[in-house]
Structures are given as C-alpha cells and as structure tokens.
C-alpha cells in the first residue's frame, strides 16, 4: 500500500509530459528492482500465459495508475532503458494490452508509445509528426525532431518488443482491441493507431527494421473494413492516424494496397477523401489526394467510379506525362520547420441565378486553351502560377511546355482501362498555350464565372463538420503510381473552358452537392446502425454517378465539347484530335440519331444523356445538334482525312443536303462535302495529283493512319472553309510590256496547256493517303448525283439581290463606269415573272411526268379558283383556258405558298422546262422555301461549290504519268463539260462577284484543258460575252481561259480551215476587242492581257481607255438583254446564244495596227521618242504588206443604202445610222440566220450578207473610197523610224518596197499645178511631223515655214503643194536611209529606175529653190535627202558610172 501511494503521489506531482530534464545531480537514477516492484502492483491475473481476466473496477484503477507512473518514468530515455531491462516488464505490458479492459489497454498502448516514439509522446503529438530537439517540455512549438537518445531508445524498445519469432504474435495482440466488438473507445483506438504508426509510418519507421515495417503494415491491411470504418471516426486524430497508415500501406506497392482498395470502395472512404482531395486545402488535402491515388491507381473499379463522378476531360489528366522535378526539388522530407495549419475545405460559392447561364456560355475564353495530342496518348499539362500548382507543378509545366505525349505511360497504350477491358476514349489533352495572354480585353468582358480562378483564397472557406484541426505533413505521392495524380488535382483546382473540359465554380458546386448528399446518406445509415438498427451498411458505389445540370446544354461527343472545339480560342484545336476517326463516327451517329428522332416525331429532337458519357451527350435542341455535328464532321475530316479514310455516309449526306428545309443545315452539309472532297490534310491537290500514279489513287484504302503532318473570304473563313487556290496554273505578274523582247507564252494551236509550268509539289505520305480518301469520296459523290447538286448551288447564286460593285483594283473610271452601267442594265422597276403554276382543280394541257398527288387533296372545281390573286401590290393572273396561272415571281409564289394557295404538289412550269412538274420536285423552288438563316450567302455557297468541283476535277487528272491524255476523259471532266453543268458554271460570271468569276474561269480552264470537242463549242455558252461584260479587275483567271480557248472556237468552222487567217479573224474575240489586246493575250500571256484590259493605256503597243471598256461592257450587256436579270427568277435558265455584232472603236479611227504597234503613236516622237521596237524584220514585212494592201484597196461594193436595206433599218435625215439601232438589227437577224441557229444553206448565205452590211455601215464614208493618203503616210513614216534606228539590223536584208516608194514620187510629179488643192491647216502639222522625223533639227517657227512654203507654192503652182507633200518628204528620206543602210538597196534602187526619178525630182526642186530658202522648207528638205540618196548610190560602182553619164543630174548637183 505504501508503494501504491507512492505511485499515486508520482502521478499527482509529476506532469504527464514526464520528469524534467536531469535531476539534482544532473540525471535521474532508477534501480531495476524498483521497476519490478511497481510492476508487481499490476493485478496478478495479468500474467503471461494466462487467459485474459475480467478485472474489477479497483483492479482497473490500480493498473491504470501503475501504467501512468511508468509513462512518466519512461519520459526520460535513461529511465526508460531501466524499465526495458527489468525482468518481464514488456511481458506484463503486453498482458495489459490484451486484458480486455478498454481503459487498461489504452494506457498500455500509450506506454508502448513512450518507448517507440519518445519525443512525440512527451509533447502529446502524433508519432507521424516530424519533431525537433532542444525544445522545452510544454512548448507550443510542436515542430521538433527526435534526439539521438530518443532514437536509440525507440530502436532498442522495438528490437526487444518485436523479436523475429514474436513479431506476428505481438502485432496480432496489438491489433486485437481494434477487432473487438463492440469497438474500443476513441482513446483506445487513437492510442493503438499511434503505436502502429510509430512502428510503420515515418518518422517512427526510421527506427524500425524493414521486416517489422512490412509485417506491421500487412497486419494493419488485414483489418480491412474495420480499418476503413475508422475513417468516419468522430475523433479527428483517429481519422488522421488511419489516413497516414493507409498512405504507408499504399507506399509499399500495389500488392500491399490491393486488400485495401476494395474496402475503400465498400466503406465509402474513397468518397470521403475524394471530396477532401478536391475541396480541402493544406496538408489535409494533400493527404487525401495521396490516399485516393493509392486506392484508384491501376484499379479498374475505382477508375470507373472516377469517370462517373468527374468529367472525362478532368480524368484524362491522369495520362499527362510526368515531368522530372528540378534540381531544387527533392522527395526527401523537408528540414525546415512546418507550421501546423488548420485543415479547411474550399467549398464552392453559391452561384447567383445568372451563374448557370454564364457557366454555359461558350464565348468565354479558356484559361488553358486546348491542345489535342497527335497520338492516342493524352498530355495534360500543369499551368504555372495557377491555383493548386506548387513548385513541382510549375516545374513540370515548364518542362512540358509546348510538348505532346508521344506514347502512353510506360506501355504506350491508353492508361485508363474500362472494366470490360476496353481502353478509355482519350481524345483531348490540354497544354499551356504558346502565346500568353491572347485576348485579354475579350476575357475581361466575359461573365465572372467563366474567368479562370488563379487564386485559391478567392473561394469562401467553409469547414466540414466535424473536421480535425491537426496538421498533417506527408511526403509526395509514391513514384510507383502510374497515373499523374498531381496533374489531376492541380487541374481540378483551376477553371477550364475548352473543348476537352468545362470546369468552373458552377460545376464544382454541383460536384460538391452530389458528394455531400451521398456521404451524408451513408453517414446517416451508419449512425442508425450504431444505435442498434440493423447490420453495418456498405456503400453502393457501383451505381453512384454525378450529373452536371449546367453542362446539359452542351453537345459532348466522345468527351469533346463540340461547340468549343469549333469556336474556342485555339484555332488549331481540330488538328490535335487524338482519335479523329472515332470522333467523326460518333458525330455522324449523333446526326443520324437526331434525324431519326425528327422523322419519328415530326419535329427535331435528340436524346440526352449524362455529361460524363463516353459516347454522346446531345442537347435538347435537335437543330442545333445537327448543325454542330455537321460542322464537327467537316472540321475533323478536313484535318484528318487520311486517318479517317473514305466516308461511307456520302449517299445519306447528299440526300439530307437535298431534302432538308433548314438553310443553315444545308450550308453546313455543303461545307462537309467540301471537306470530304478538298480536305486540308491533302494539301493543294491541283499541284500534287500530278505526281500520283493512277493506280496509287485507289478507291479502296488500307486502314493505316497518316504518319505526318473582302467579304467572301471572311465569311468562308468563319464557316471553316479553307481558301483553296482557284488557278490551275500560276500566272506571271501583271506588267504591261514596253517594247521588250518577250517570247511567246503560248502557241496558237488547239493545245490548251498552260503557258508556264508551275512548281509541282510531291505530296507527303500523309497527304497521299488523304488524297486517296478524297478521290474515293469523289467517285461516290458522282455516283449519287452530287455533281448536279453542286451545280445547283452555283446556279442559286443568281438569287442574290445585292449585286456587288466592281473590284476596287481597277481604274477609278473603269470601276465606276462599269459598276454603274451594270446596275443600270439589270435594274428594273419590278422583278421579271418567269413562273407559271396550275392551281388545284385546274388541268394542264401539257402532259406531266409525275404522278398527280394532288388528287388526294379535297375536291376543288374550276369555279372555286379565282380569276386573279393579289399578292401585295402584285396582281397574279388566274388560270387561263389550259389551267395555267401566271406569270408570277418567286416572291409572289412564296407568299402564295405560305397562304396555302400553292402546295408542294402544285404543278409549276417555266421557260426551258419540257413539261409542268410538281413544285417539290423543282430543287430551286424547294430550296427557296427553306426556313431559317443560312451560314453562307448565295455567293459564298456558290464559291464553296465551285471549289469542290475544282478539286473533284483535280483529283482525276486528265493526263497520265507520261503526259498522255486519257481516253475517255475522267468522269469528273466529262460530267462538268456536259450541257447540264457547263452553261451554269459559265453563267455564274453574270453575278459580277469577283471570287465567283475567278473560280468559274479556273474551273472551266481545268475541265476543258484536254476536251477538244467541248472547248471548240465553248462560245455557245456565252462565256466570252459574260467575261467581257464583267467590270471587275480580277481578270487573270478569265484571261487564262481566254488565252486557252479564243483561237480554237468553231464559230468559223474547224480550226484547221482558219489556220492561215490573221489573228483578228482566227480569234473569237477579234470582232469584240482591238487587235492590240488580242496581241497582248496571244504574245504576252494572260497576266499582261488582264492588266491591259483593266487599265488605262495609250501607247504604241496598246490603246485602251476607261471609256473603251465602258463601251465594251455596255455593248455586251445590251447584247445579253434581260437574261442576267431573268436568272434571279429562274436560276436554271440557259443562255440562248446569239452572235454579238462586231464593235467599232472611234478612238482607233486615225490609227493603223501593224504587227504589234499602233503606227500613229509609234511615229509620234514628241510623246514616244525612242520607244523600243522589237521583231524588226517582221515589222518591216508587215509594213510592206499593209502598204501593198492599202494601195490595192478598192471601194466596197455595197453602198450604205444597200447595207441599211439589208439590215432593215432607215437612216436619219442626214444619212447617219444610229449604232445602237444597227446592233439591234444585227442581233435580230443573227438569231434567225446564224449557222448555229439555222443550219440551212440559204440561212448561211443570208447571214454572210448581214455581216457585210454591218461591216459596210461600220466603215462609214471611208468604206466607199480607195487608198487613204493618211494611212500611206503613216506606213512611210514607220519605215523611216525603223531604218533610222535599226539600220544595222536591217542591213543584211534587201528592201522590197522600192516599187511602191517610187510610185509615190512618180504620182506626185505627174500632178498638174492646176490640180493642186490649197494646203489645209492640217498640212502644218503634217509638215512638222515630217520634218521632225527627217532628223533635221528645227525651231517651232521653221515647221510653220514649211507649211507656208507649201501654201506659197500652191499659190504659184509648183509641184510641192497639196496634201501629198508629206508623202514626198517621207518617201525621199526613206530612199536615203535604205541606200545608206546597205549597198544591196542601192543596187535595187538603180535596178527599179530610181536614178532617173531622183534626177527629175532634184531638177524640179532646184528650179524653185531660192538662195534664201530656209533649211526646213519642204523643197530644201527634199533637195537635201535627194542629194544624200544620190551620194549613197555613188558608193556602188554601177550606179556611179550611170551617174557620170547623167549630165543634167550633175549640173543640178553643182547648181
């Protein structure tokens, strides 16, 4: 009793922390016998080998007092060593642990904790806390560490208590109270867990042997459900102990953690810690994150549960590549003190009423723009500086920035495995954007809920009741985990708004509520069990899932939010899809489901599933779903055509394209067809298909993946249409020549090949596969009638009521004049009425080709049909005797349809249709009645269709690898050249839309390049007239078409029969354009021709002004009449060809076009002095030929009166014939008698007379005269300039124009003085020009002297008077220049009798030449050139002897 009282006294006087450091002599002393005596105070029943006794309350009290005393004694390492050395001390303690008394067992466990974790026990801290030495007892700083003595004591105690033979037995005894029923008290549970943690959890595990650690953890894992039940223990320290113990078990590997995983699901521990891992903060969150990772990593049921709870885009972060930590990061425990923090839970704030709408807004910028892996692997990346991203996460993000995961973690296969063994769909991944900020201003305008939350403390902090307040310090997740769990937790703490993931405050709140409800229900059930109500409940985890109502309006396919994929901030998001084929198939399946639901119910509808579905999540709006699916299919196929392969749903797509009544869906399907035929993945197929052999572009493709790789333009770009090249060949820069020597850029034969060869590109393997897929799609499209569908889209462009102005690149005058006249020509007070319909009850006299479905309608009699229909201000006539009502415009028809007067079964008819048909069978009218707004305008839709047809033709080249033309031509080329398609492609030029004009011309050039039969009759489509009527400036593509086709038209018969004719007669454009433009087109190529046609030029090589182009456009539009305007009402009308009348150009009335120059401009040396001349020999030959033709010119046989009679017109009183009236008469007669309209021989002869009559009236008064002096003068002056500048080049050639030249001099000398006419005012200008061209430098008054001398000579009757004096001046100078150039010319002049004529001319001039004559006078100039010519002749031996015998000539020379 005395010893027991001493025990009580020690317990009362010594604090629980233990004895103070050191005694009176600096150390405490204790004898082993004293320890043995104290142990003897324990109840006698507590002996080794005896069964557990039932202790009385007094025995329990005494045992607890003894154990308390030993705990205080063992606070000193020296005294604890004495206790350990006492005989049977540890045996008695183990007996107390298994005595069955809850209180005794708890104190025995606390005594063992004093031995196994001395420092933590002294301070009352958990053994998993990291402690530091040299801290006074009772200090509030719990962040202390063990001393060397403490570590020695702990290691010795564990070695003594757990010998190798007794490890398992002692551990079973240690865990026995936890297995007892009812469960032990909170204090006992806590003490036992702390002892186990001191053995197997750091830092206590450092003093334990490895075998002891493993055995201890295995024993703890064997508790299974009992251990997990402690997670919901009301004592926070118990829950913490279980957590750290679980972490330690998981750290031993998958085999050690396997028994715990199933229990974690059944007991709901995964549910509880998942909530803490996402919404808690501090050490508690990190511990829960590690526990969830250890339970779920590589465990299919847990991963399946995570996929049902979290969005798929968030779960995919587990497949992110794990970045290596930087040098400064270490997995070792930190040495710096860790300040304890209160574990809090970050609970989402309650969103306002507008929060769901803001959360589902799609226009908000994403905090982390989406990047799609190029492989099935997923590569989420931590965002530096984001909430939840610590130093390790930031280092990982920096290391991974801009990189994609090339293979899956370890195995190269998708990591997330479904329960049935299939891999999860890994479609998207997120990376840090390469460009920082992006649209900062746009982001600031978005709703607050869509903004990225970069600061975790912005969330309201709400503690979870009840939650422990102890700090937990744990190391990082074990490197043995395969999933990148840190990336998952980091991503869960940030906001995301991209195609792979929508995660914000609203979704976090929805997840919080779902987890809280589930945990509260499980907790309530267990509370009822604790009160005796039934057995222990387990969690039904197999059926638990979380739905996110805020995401119900999002279309999610394969884990991809489609709208954000197409409209998100990452423009290259689609290219980074990892599984494009599966995504494309899922989109098409969704489209089919929407259509089937719509067909079944009569309205558009769609099925809705949970947002975490791995296949499809469709919103309620069926129309929006269809459009998004179609856009997603187009985008994914365009980027991954080679991976996806040929599309099997083209027939259905075309059928839906034709029958849908939604404009937006129709345009979306058109864009999908564009992607199927012209995907971006195939590159520029026009330049690449040349390198592919025909066998390589097969319709059946191996299932392999690819290895690598303005207003209209803006609209198409927004719609996702790439701007494809519309030129089949590259064109040189449009620069007008300035006389430089330029080789001909194309032959004038029937070959349609390009004038220059483009730089062909060899496709990559990925592009080759994409091209093969596109070609296979093209054949299916043609088999299903898709080509005609596309042509109908092209024709529908005429419905656009807004005609755009000419391109701004043309000259201001041309653009303004052309655009203004175009608007004037097609503007009418009211729309033309082209359609007729047969109201129900009336009968058509014309046989119909479809069944009469109207018979099923209610019976109607003719008496029920009104005489007329009033539609707005338009009055539509009722049916006539044949039952036909109309004509009616489209707008009126649409209104009558809305009123029910016209139904889908009403028969309609328009000019050009063989018979009336039902309205619904006319695609043009059916599309007109479509509803909703379209994605594209009529012009944009037509341009897309043209691009598809262009690429369709490019996929089927008309030549093989060797350059040989395929026979027969490919199907695409034959189909587009068919009369059902080609006219509509040509007529698109009448819209005046620049992009359409260029695309149509390029398509025609590509299709007709090797189709000789079709290109020879291209003029019948009116394409030349449509092109010349276009007033824009983008003329290069049209010029390329003109270049290839204008010389091969069969309008004059076969090309072989016209091969020898001049260019103006061989070219179809000859009657319509000046010869200079034809020369530009034929010699310089399309680019120069386009620049000349669009510009304003007045040079020796081209004369073309804005007024001339305006007149050309006006003439073409007048010739076309109202046909362009009628197309807006009947888009499928076909132009009825009528040959245009030849055009005259008053600006060229005083010009002569010879070879390649306008002679008047060429001879104008004031404006064009030194203008370079090329092809000198050809020009001289042309000048001589033109001179002979002019001299042989005879007056036209037909008079103007006869011509007017032939054309059926009456001239005005002054004899003038209006040009417009003349053209109208010509067009009327050409429609009747042109050989293409009337093949009879009589009609052909009549048409020839009509042509001659028109040419006679165009020639005017000059047509009734012979040779024109002014033309001869220009021809002479041009020769003078040629010999003056290039005599050296012409010297080797003998001049062949001496007979005509001497005839000019002879005719002048034969004239009598009385026949001379007084010199006109124009003689002064002529004399001045002649003097300037002679090379004699004169002043301004000297030219007037020449004219004055001529006038005076006329007055006195000399031979130099009259209008021929200029011819004499030019002729004599030409004689001198030719003789000076070559001796052969001198001999030729002598042979033709030129010496006698020169002697006569010199004699006559000398006779009238006074001594004071000015050197610039006509007689002085002629005398000078005559003397120079004679001097040139004297250089020839034969001529010199003849000159010596000509006495009069010598006398005149001397005089």
The string of pLDDT tens digits covering residues 1153-1179 is 998 999 999 999 899 988 999 999 999
pTM of the complete model: 0.70
Question: Is the CB of residue 1225 less than 8 Å from the CB of residue 1211?
Answer: no
pLDDT at 324: 61
Q: Containing H/E element for 1098?
A: strand 1097-1098
Burial 118-148 (b: 16+ CB within 10 A, else e): bbbbbbebbbbbbbeeebeeeeeebbbbbbe
What is the mean predicted confidence (pLDDT) over 885-912?
Answer: 89
Looking at residues 710-716, what average pLDDT do you find?
52
Tell me the C-alpha distance between 661 and 250, whole Å.
Answer: 61
Residue, of 27 and 66, whose pLDDT is higher = 66
What is residue 244's three-state secondary structure?
Answer: helix
For 950-1009, the DSSP string reads HHHHHHS-SB-TTSPBPSSPPHHHHHHTSTTTHHHHHHGGGG--HHHHHHHHHHHHHHHT
Residue 810 has pLDDT above 70, yes or no: no
More reliable by pLDDT, 459 or 1026: 1026
Q: How confident is the model at residue 132 (pLDDT cuts 50, 70, 90)?
A: very low
Structure token digits, residue 741: 């020597």
The answer to whether residues 1165 and 1332 touch, using CB atoms and an 8 Å cutoff, is yes
**Long-range contacts of 226-231, Cβ-Cβ distance < 8 Å, separation of 24 or more:** 226/178, 226/179, 227/178, 227/260, 227/263, 228/260, 228/263, 228/264, 228/266, 228/267, 228/269, 229/183, 229/267, 229/536, 230/189, 230/193, 231/267, 231/268, 231/269, 231/272, 231/273
More confident residue, 845 or 1180: 1180
Closest by CA to 240, choosing from 144, 343, 163, is 343
Nearest to 936, CA basis, from 893, 996, 863, 860: 996
**What pLDDT was estimated at residue 274?**
92
Cα 187 to its chain centre, rounded Å, is 68
Winning range, highest mean pLDDT, from 413-422, 508-517, 1251-1260: 508-517
CA angle (1129 as vertex; 1128, 1130 as ends), nearest 5: 100
Per-residue pLDDT at 19 exceeds 70? yes
**Lowest mean per-residue pLDDT among 482-486, 1136-1140, 1243-1247:** 1243-1247
Question: Among 9-23, 56-70, 1212-1226, 1330-1344, which stretch is predicted with the lowest mean pLDDT?
Answer: 1330-1344
Could you report the per-residue pLDDT of 1298-1310, keeping only the tens digit for each? 888 888 887 766 5
Q: Give the per-residue pLDDT at 515.
A: 94
Of 143-152, 533-542, 544-553, 805-814, give the range with the top mean pLDDT. 544-553
Lowest mean pLDDT among 74-78, 739-743, 1230-1234: 739-743
pLDDT: which is higher, 738 or 176: 176
> Is 353's pLDDT higher than 50?
no
Model pLDDT, residue 256 = 64
Answer whether residue 67 shows pLDDT above 60. Answer: yes
Residue 25 confidence class, pLDDT cut points 50, 70, 90: low
Say yes or no to pLDDT of 1363 above 70.
no
pLDDT for 774 equals 93
Query: pLDDT at residue 641 above 90?
Result: yes
Residue 248 has pLDDT above 90, yes or no: no
| Average confidence score pLDDT of the chain | 73
CB neighbours of residue 406 within 10 Å: 12
Tokens of 766: 């990925």
pLDDT tens readout for residues 1051-1096: 775 555 556 688 888 899 998 999 999 999 999 999 999 999 999 9
pLDDT at 424 over 60: no
* DSSP-assigned states of every residue in 1318-1376: PPPHHHHHHHHHHHHHHT----HHHHHHHHHHHHHHHHHT-TT-STTHHHHHHHHHHHH
Contact 459, 346 (CB under 8 A): yes
CB contact set of 1097 (below 8 Å; sequence gap of 6+): 736, 1103, 1104, 1105
Torsion of CA 108, 114, 120, 126, to 10 degrees: -20
Which range is least confidently modeled, 82-96, 172-186, 380-394? 380-394
Q: Who contacts 558 (Cβ-Cβ below 8 Å, separation ≥6)?
A: 425, 427, 579, 582, 583, 586, 614, 615, 616
For residues 1098 and 1105, the answer to whether their CB atoms sit within 8 Å is: yes
Percentage of residues in the chain having pLDDT higher than 70: 69
Confidence of residue 130 (pLDDT cuts 50, 70, 90): low
* pLDDT score recorded for residue 492: 93
Q: Check whether 447 has a pLDDT greater than 80.
A: no
What pLDDT is attached to residue 1327?
A: 41
Q: What is the pLDDT of residue 74?
A: 85
On the 0-12 / 13-18 / 19+ scale of CB atoms within 10 A, 259 is middle
d(CA 139, CA 142): 7
Closest CA to 699 of 1003, 978, 971, 1004: 971
Please, are residues 907 and 844 in contact by the beta-carbon 8 Å criterion?
Answer: yes
Mean pLDDT of 737-755: 43
| Per-residue model confidence (pLDDT) at position 928 | 92
Closest Cα to residue 652, out of 682, 635, 673, 621?
A: 673
| Nearest Cα to Cα of residue 174 among 203, 215, 146, 211 | 215
Highest mean pLDDT (candidates 73-82, 473-482, 580-589): 580-589
pLDDT attached to residue 796? 93
CA 449, chain centre distance (Å): 30
Tell me the backbone φ, ψ of residue 557, rounded to 5 degrees.
-125, 120
Residue matched to tokens 């839970």: 345
Q: Greater confidence, 808 or 937?
A: 937
Examine the pLDDT at 874 and tell me if it is beyond 80.
no
CB contact set of 1401 (below 8 Å; sequence gap of 6+) = 1305, 1309, 1372, 1422, 1426
Q: Which of 6-15, 233-242, 537-546, 1042-1051 has the lowest mean pLDDT?
A: 233-242
Q: Is the pLDDT at 620 greater than 70, yes or no?
A: no
Q: Averaged over 216-242, what is the pLDDT?
A: 74
What pLDDT, on a 0 to 100 scale, did the predictor assign at position 1452? Answer: 78
The span from the CA of 6 to the CA of 3, in Å, is: 5
The H-or-E segment that residue 918 falls in is strand 917-918
Across residues 1234-1238, what is the average pLDDT?
73
- Give yes or no for residue 544 having a pLDDT over 50: yes
Whole-number pLDDT of residue 702: 31
Would you place residue 730 in the very low, low, confident or very high pLDDT band (cuts 50, 70, 90)?
Answer: very low
Q: Answer whether residue 1200 shows pLDDT above 80.
A: no
Does the structure show a pLDDT above 80 at 863?
Answer: no
Kindly give the interhelix angle for 663-677 and 786-795, rounded to the nearest 10 degrees. Answer: 120
Q: Which residue is associated with the tokens 């009282």? A: 5
The angle at the Cα of 1315, spanning 1314 to 1320, to the nearest 5 degrees, equals 105
Q: What is the mean pLDDT of residues 1129-1149?
A: 88
The per-residue pLDDT for 1178 is 92
Residue predicted with more confidence, 1136 or 689 = 1136
Question: Who has greater pLDDT, 1028 or 453?
Answer: 1028
pLDDT of amino acid 588:
92
Q: Is 353 helix (H, G, I), strand (E, B) or coil?
A: coil
386-390, 641-645, 723-727, 761-765, range with the lowest pLDDT = 386-390
Q: What number is the average pLDDT over the span 295-316? A: 90
Q: Read out DSSP for 439-489?
A: SHHHHHTS-GGGS----GGGSPB-PPSS---------PPPTT--S-HHHHH
Residue in 687, 1200, 765 with CA at minimum distance from that of residue 955: 687
In angstroms, rounded to a whole number, what is the distance separating the alpha carbons of residues 644 and 769? 10
**Residue 267 in this model has a pLDDT that exceeds 70:** yes
Average pLDDT over residues 1118-1136: 90
Structure confidence at residue 558 (pLDDT): 84
pLDDT for the residue 480: 63
Question: For the segment 1176-1195, what is each residue's pLDDT rounded down to a tens digit?
Answer: 999 999 999 988 888 887 66
Q: Which of 543, 548, 545, 542 is nearest to 611 (CA)?
A: 548
CA dihedral 199, 205, 210, 211 (to 10 degrees): 10
What string of DSSP letters covers 286-314?
Answer: HHHHHHHHHHHTT-HHHHHHHHHHS-HHH
Distances from the Cα of 1385 to the Cα of 271, 498, 835, 1276, 1373, angstroms: 113, 87, 75, 17, 14
Segment 441-454 mean pLDDT: 32
């Amino acid at each position: 009793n005395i010893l027991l009282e001493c025990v009580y006294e020690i317990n009362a006087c010594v604090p629980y922390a233990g004895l103070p450091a050191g005694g009176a002599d600096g150390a405490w002393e204790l004898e082993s016998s004293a320890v043995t005596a104290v142990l003897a105070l324990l109840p006698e029943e507590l002996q080794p080998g005896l069964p557990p006794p039932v202790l009385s309350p007094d025995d329990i009290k005494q045992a607890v007092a003894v154990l308390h005393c030993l705990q205080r004694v063992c606070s000193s390492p020296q005294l604890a060593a004495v206790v350990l050395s006492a005989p049977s001390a540890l045996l008695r303690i183990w007996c107390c642990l298994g005595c069955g008394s809850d209180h005794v067992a708890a104190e025995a466990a606390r005594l063992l904790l004093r031995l196994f974790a001395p420092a933590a026990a002294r301070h009352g801290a958990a053994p998993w806390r990291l402690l530091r030495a040299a801290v006074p007892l009772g200090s509030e700083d719990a962040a202390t560490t063990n001393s060397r003595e403490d570590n020695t004591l702990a290691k010795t105690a564990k070695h003594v208590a757990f010998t190798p033979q007794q490890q398992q037995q002692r551990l079973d005894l240690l865990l026995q109270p936890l297995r007892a029923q009812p469960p032990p008290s909170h204090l006992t549970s806590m003490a036992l867990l702390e002892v186990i943690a001191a053995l197997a959890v750091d830092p206590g595990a450092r003093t334990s042997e490895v075998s002891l650690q493993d055995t201890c953890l295995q024993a703890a894992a064997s508790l299974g459900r009992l251990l997990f039940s402690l997670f919901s223990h009301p004592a926070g320290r118990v829950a913490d102990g279980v957590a750290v113990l679980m972490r330690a078990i998981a750290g031993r590997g998958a085999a050690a953690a396997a028994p715990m995983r199933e229990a974690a699901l059944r007991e709901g521990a995964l549910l509880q810690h998942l909530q803490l891992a996402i919404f808690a903060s501090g050490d508690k969150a990190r511990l829960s994150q590690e526990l969830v990772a250890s339970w779920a990593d590589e465990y299919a049921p847990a991963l399946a549960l995570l996929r049902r709870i979290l969005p798929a885009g968030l779960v995919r972060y587990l497949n992110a590549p794990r970045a290596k930590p930087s040098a400064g990061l270490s997995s070792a425990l930190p040495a710096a003190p860790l300040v304890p923090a209160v574990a809090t839970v970050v609970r989402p704030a309650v969103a306002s009423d507008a929060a769901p709408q803001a959360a589902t807004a799609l226009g908000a910028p994403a905090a982390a723009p989406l990047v799609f892996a190029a492989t099935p692997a997923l590569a989420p990346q931590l965002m530096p500086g984001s909430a939840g991203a610590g130093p390790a996460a930031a280092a990982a993000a920096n290391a991974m920035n801009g990189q994609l995961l090339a293979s899956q973690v370890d195995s190269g296969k998708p990591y997330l495995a479904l329960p049935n063994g299939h891999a999860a769909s890994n479609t998207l991944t997120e990376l840090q954007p390469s460009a920082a900020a992006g649209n900062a201003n746009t982001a600031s305008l978005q709703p607050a809920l869509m903004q990225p939350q970069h600061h975790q403390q912005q969330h309201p902090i709400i503690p979870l009741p009840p939650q422990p307040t102890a700090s937990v310090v744990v190391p990082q997740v074990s490197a043995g985990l395969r999933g990148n769990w840190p990336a998952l937790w980091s991503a869960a703490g940030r906001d995301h708004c991209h195609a792979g993931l929508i995660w914000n405050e609203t979704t976090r709140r929805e997840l919080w509520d779902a987890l809280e409800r589930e945990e509260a229900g499980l907790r309530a059930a267990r509370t009822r069990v604790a009160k005796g109500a039934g057995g222990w409940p387990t969690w039904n985890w197999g059926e638990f899932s979380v739905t996110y109502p805020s995401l119900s309006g999002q279309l999610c396919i394969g884990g991809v939010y489609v709208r954000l994929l197409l409209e998100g901030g990452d423009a290259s998001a689609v290219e980074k899809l990892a599984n494009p084929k599966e995504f494309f198939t899922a989109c098409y399946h969704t489209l089919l489901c929407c259509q089937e639901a719509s067909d079944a119910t009569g309205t558009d509808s769609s099925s809705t599933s949970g947002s975490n579905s791995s296949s499809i999540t469709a919103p309620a709006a069926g129309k929006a779903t269809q459009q998004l699916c179609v856009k997603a299919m187009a985008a994914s196929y365009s980027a991954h055509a080679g991976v996806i392969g040929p599309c099997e749903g083209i027939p259905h797509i075309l059928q839906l394209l034709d029958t849908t009544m939604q404009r937006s869906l129709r345009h979306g399907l058109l864009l999908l067809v564009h992607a199927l035929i012209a995907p971006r993945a195939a590159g520029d197929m026009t330049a690449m298909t040349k390198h592919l052999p025909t066998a390589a572009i097969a319709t059946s493709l191996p299932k392999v993946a690819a290895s690598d790789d303005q207003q209209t333009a803006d609209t198409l770009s927004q719609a996702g249409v790439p701007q494809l090249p519309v030129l089949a060949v590259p064109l040189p820069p449009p620069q007008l020549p300035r006389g430089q020597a330029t080789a001909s850029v194309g032959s004038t034969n029937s070959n349609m090949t390009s004038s220059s060869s483009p730089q062909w590109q060899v496709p990559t393997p990925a592009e080759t596969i994409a091209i093969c897929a596109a070609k296979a799609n093209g054949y299916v499209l043609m088999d299903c009638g898709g080509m005609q569908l596309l042509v109908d889209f092209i024709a529908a462009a005429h419905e656009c009521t807004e005609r755009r102005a000419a391109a701004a690149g043309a000259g201001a005058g041309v653009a303004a004049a052309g655009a203004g006249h175009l608007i004037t020509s097609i503007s009418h007070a009211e729309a033309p009425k082209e359609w007729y319909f047969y109201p129900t009850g009336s009968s058509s006299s014309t046989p119909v080709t479809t069944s009469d479905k109207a018979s099923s309608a209610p019976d109607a009699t003719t008496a029920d049909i009104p005489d007329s229909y009033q539609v707005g201000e338009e009055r539509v006539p009722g049916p006539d005797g044949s039952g036909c009502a109309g004509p009616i415009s489209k707008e009126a028809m649409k209104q009558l349809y809305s009123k029910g007067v016209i139904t889908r079964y009403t028969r309609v008819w328009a000019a050009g249709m063989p018979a009336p048909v039902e309205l619904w069978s006319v695609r043009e009218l059916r599309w007109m009645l479509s509803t909703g707004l379209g994605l594209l305008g009529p012009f944009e839709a037509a341009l897309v269709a043209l691009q598809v047809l262009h690429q369709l033709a490019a996929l089927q080249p008309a030549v093989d690898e060797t350059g040989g033309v395929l026979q027969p031509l490919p199907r695409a080329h034959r189909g587009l050249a068919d009369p059902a398609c080609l006219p509509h492609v040509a007529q698109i030029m009448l819209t005046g839309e620049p992009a359409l004009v260029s695309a149509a011309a390029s398509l025609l050039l590509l299709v007709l390049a090797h189709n000789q039969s079709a290109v020879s009759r291209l003029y019948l489509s009116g394409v030349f007239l449509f092109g010349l009527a276009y007033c824009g400036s983008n003329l290069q593509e049209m010029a390329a078409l003109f270049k290839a086709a204008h010389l091969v038209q069969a309008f004059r018969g076969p090309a072989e029969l016209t091969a020898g004719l001049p260019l103006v007669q061989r070219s179809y454009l000859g009657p319509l354009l000046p010869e200079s433009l034809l020369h530009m087109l034929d010699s310089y190529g399309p680019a120069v021709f386009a620049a000349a046609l669009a510009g304003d030029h007045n040079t020796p090589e081209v004369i073309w002004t804005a007024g001339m182009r305006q007149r050309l456009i006006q003439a073409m539009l007048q010739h076309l009449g109202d046909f362009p305007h009628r197309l807006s009402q009947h888009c499928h009308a076909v132009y009825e060809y009528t040959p245009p009348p030849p055009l005259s150009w008053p600006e060229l009335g005083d010009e002569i076009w010879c070879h390649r120059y306008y002679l008047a401009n060429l001879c104008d040396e004031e404006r064009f002095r030194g203008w370079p001349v090329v092809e000198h020999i050809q020009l001289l030959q042309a000048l001589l030929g033109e001179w002979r033709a002019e001299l042989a010119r005879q007056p036209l046989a037909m008079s103007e009166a006869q011509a007017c009679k032939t054309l059926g017109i009456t001239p005005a009183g002054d004899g003038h014939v209006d040009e417009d009236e003349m053209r109208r008469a010509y067009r009327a007669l050409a429609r009747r008698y042109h050989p293409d309209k009337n093949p009879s021989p009589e009609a052909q002869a009549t048409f020839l007379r009509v042509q001659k009559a028109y040419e006679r009236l165009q020639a005017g008064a000059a047509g009734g005269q012979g040779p024109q002096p002014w033309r001869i003068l220009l021809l002479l002056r041009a020769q003078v300039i040629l010999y003056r500048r290039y005599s050296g080049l012409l010297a080797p050639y003998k001049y062949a124009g001496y007979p005509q030249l001497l005839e000019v001099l002879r005719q002048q000398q034969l004239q009598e003085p009385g026949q001379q006419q007084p010199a006109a005012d124009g003689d002064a200008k002529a004399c001045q020009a002649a003097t300037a061209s002679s090379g004699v430098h004169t002043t301004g008054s000297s030219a007037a002297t020449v004219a004055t001398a001529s006038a005076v000579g006329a007055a006195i009757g000399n031979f130099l008077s009259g209008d021929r004096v200029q011819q004499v001046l030019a002729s004599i100078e030409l004689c001198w220049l030719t003789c000076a150039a070559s001796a052969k010319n001198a001999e030729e002049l002598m042979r033709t009798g030129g010496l006698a004529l020169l002697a006569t001319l010199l004699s006559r001039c000398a006779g009238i030449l006074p001594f004071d004559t000015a050197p610039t006078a006509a007689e002085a100039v002629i005398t000078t050139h005559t003397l120079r010519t004679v001097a040139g002749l004297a250089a020839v031996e034969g001529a010199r002897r003849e000159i010596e015998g000509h006495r009069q000539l010598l006398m005149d020379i001397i005089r």
